[in-house]
């Protein structure tokens, strides 16, 4: 097996939460630390340079995000289907059967829910600078409702990294 083997048999870890909450920074750091496969956010690449997107684009993004992590274990995913499900509900007011199917097929052993408790950073792909706390509560409710195992990450990045290592039963970096 490549990378660090978990004592608790975790093989698939995902980061979730509102925009600009540290998902990319932390997932990339953790994947590197564990020497596991890093699964990037497909939407970021797909939407780069596009002036807008449609509902069918979002369904395509969901399909490709799911495919990008399929069969890759151990892995750390920058995002997962709950992000896309909530995005669809917020942007289009519905959950399509295609995205719901992707959501139901997407399984991770542990989710890290990132609280958006630091300064908003402008990014052409971000849409929700003013209601990140409300969105965080939606993620929290969804994780709880769907009985997903999760840990909330908040505070400075260094604090979040310590929390990650503690919950994964790994030593601090020196």
pLDDT per residue over 31-83, tens digit each? 999 999 999 999 989 988 888 899 999 999 999 999 998 888 899 999 999 99
pLDDT per residue over 50-60, tens digit each? 888 999 999 99
Domain parsing of the chain, residue ranges: 12-167
Report residue 127's pLDDT band, with 50, 70 and 90 as the boundaries. low
Beta bridge partners, 14, equal 77, 111
- DSSP letter assigned to residue 172: P
Domain 12-167 has CATH 3.40.50.720: no
**Which pLDDT does position 76 carry in this prediction?**
96
Q: Calculate the CA 160 to chain-centre distance.
A: 15
E strand or H helix at 14 = strand 12-16
Query: CA 38 to CA 41: how far, in whole Å?
Result: 10
Alpha helices in the chain (DSSP H): 23-34, 42-47, 55-69, 81-92, 97-105, 132-145, 157-167
Range of lowest pLDDT (8-12, 79-83, 95-99, 100-104)? 8-12
Mean per-residue pLDDT, 112-124: 80
**pLDDT at residue 1 is higher than 50:** no
The CA angle 110-115-120, to the nearest 5 degrees, is 135
């Amino acid at each position: 097996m490549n990378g660090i083997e978990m004592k608790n048999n975790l093989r698939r870890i995902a980061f979730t939460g509102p925009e600009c909450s540290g998902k990319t920074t932390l997932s990339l750091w953790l994947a590197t630390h564990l020497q596991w496969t890093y699964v990037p956010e497909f939407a970021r690449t797909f939407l780069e340079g596009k002036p807008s997107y449609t509902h069918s684009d979002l369904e395509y993004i969901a399909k490709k995000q799911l495919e990008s992590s399929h069969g890759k274990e151990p892995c750390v995913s920058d995002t997962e289907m709950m992000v896309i499900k909530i995005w669809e509900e917020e942007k289009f007011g519905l959950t399509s059967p295609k995205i719901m199917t992707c959501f139901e097929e997407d399984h991770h052993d542990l989710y890290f829910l990132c609280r958006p408790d630091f300064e908003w950073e402008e990014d052409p792909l971000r849409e929700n600078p003013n209601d990140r706390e409300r969105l965080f509560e939606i993620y929290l409710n969804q994780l709880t409702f769907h009985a997903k195992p999760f840990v909330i990450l908040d505070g400075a990045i260094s604090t979040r990294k310590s929390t990650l290592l503690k919950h994964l039963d790994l030593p601090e970096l020196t």
